[in-house]
Amino acid sequence: MTRVAPDQVRTVTCIGAGVIGGGWAAYFLARGYDVVAWDPAPDAEGRLRHVVDAAWPALTELGLADGASRDRLTYEPDLATALAGADFVQESAPEDLDLKIRLLADIDAVTPEGVVISSSTSGYGMSEMQGSCSHPERTVVGHPFNPPYLIPLVEVVGGEATDADVVAWTAAFYRVAGKSVIEMDREVPGFIANRLQEALWREALHMVANGEATVEQIDQSIVDGPGLRWALQGPMLTFHLAGGQGGMAHMLDHFGPSLLSPWTRLEAPELTTELRNEVVDGCARESGDRTIDDLVAERDRGVVAILRMQGDR
């Protein structure tokens, strides 16, 4: 068993080196890891180094770990050689289920015993992908957001055959590596953020298809509208503040009926007392000892900063 402690990982192998895999490589390099990358495409190394070079100024601005260097990136065309020294494997192959199943089995066959294999899949559950692995217990989903070198979120969730220890180890490793981790206790298609993003995206496509909005209007409506709030407080706290001093309780009691309006093509859940209370209580927990006025002031400082930044572009 060669699985080291989450804070003892030295070498990360990135399987697949496109936008996502290359972005992961850049991130792990910036955090001071040795990175080995494998990708079967003919021009893979050039594209990989392009992604890493493009990411480096932003990573430098945020602060590199001691010893972090792009010189610690190795492109390795042989899969077994790429995986021989891995302490952790991040798989970011194209989103094709058959390909993922075969590739994960190939990775599993040559990766040192016990080393965790984490997939960047944006939608498949690990239960669907791990079936051909000899050691499916060490395969897990670690779903990032583009660009993985800047967006902190990683959603971690195991499949049916994944060890609970592996899920916990993976979440701990990503946290050591500086990520914002959501550890899910069950497989939900699309995980959390992708489901939310996808609901918005599908509605946007419907609007474009129906001539109700242009592509530019879709983007303007978010960038100059709710997008300014979502970078700061998320959809729940955002609506908590839409309720004035009454917070989410007032908001749900006031706007709850609009859930029945044909505002989207997605039907809303019934706003039961239980659901209402769960949302209200969640906002109270998130707020902690911050009053509505505190949250308003916090949001406003953030929006002002983002508006100034938008103005600088």
Subset of 215-274 contacting its own copies (CB under 8 A):
215-239, 241-244, 254-255, 258-259, 261-272
> Which residues ranging from 85 to 124 are in contact with its own copies (CB under 8 A)?
94-95, 122-123
Residue nearer to its own copies on the CB measure, 10 or 202: 202
Distance of CA 200 to the CA centre of its chain: 16
For Cα atoms 287, 146, 21, give the angle at the middle one, nearest 5 degrees. 130
78 vs 219, beta carbon nearer its own copies: 219
83 or 191: CB nearest its own copies: 191
CA dihedral 82, 84, 85, 86 (to 10 degrees): 70
Look-up of token digits 């007032």: 250
User: Phi and psi at residue 91, in whole multiples of 5°?
Assistant: -95, 125
- The count of residues in the chain is 313
Contact pick of 101, 109, 182, 249 for its own copies (by CB under 8 A)? 182
- Smallest gap from Cβ 256 to its own copies, in A, equals 10
**Smallest separation (angstroms) from its own copies to the CB of 217:** 5
Q: How far apart are CA 270 and CA 207, in angstroms?
A: 25
296 belongs to the binding site for its own copies (CB under 8 A) = yes
On whether the CB atoms of residues 206 and 265 are closer than 8 A, the answer is: yes
Name the residue with tokens 């309006």. Answer: 261
Measuring CA to CA, which residue among 312, 245, 252, 313 is closest to residue 282?
252
Nearest distance from C-beta of residue 115 to its own copies, angstroms? 27
Residue 55 in the binding site for its own copies (CB under 8 A): yes
Residue 43 is a binding residue for its own copies (CB under 8 A)? no
| From 4, 45, 54, 110, residue interacting with its own copies (rule: CB under 8 A) | 54
**76 vs 298, beta carbon nearer its own copies:** 298
Smallest separation, CB 230 to its own copies (Å): 4
Give which of 119, 133, 150 is closest to 27, Cα–Cα: 150
Query: SS3 for 112?
Result: coil
Report the nearest approach of its own copies to the CB of residue 25 (Å): 14
Do 117 and 140 touch, CB atoms closer than 8 A? yes
Minimal distance, residue 165 CB to its own copies, in Å: 22
Is 125 within 8 Å of 187 (Cβ atoms)?
Answer: yes
Give the nearest distance from C-beta 153 to its own copies in angstroms.
4
Q: Which of residues 136-165 bind its own copies (CB under 8 A)?
A: 145-147, 150-153, 155
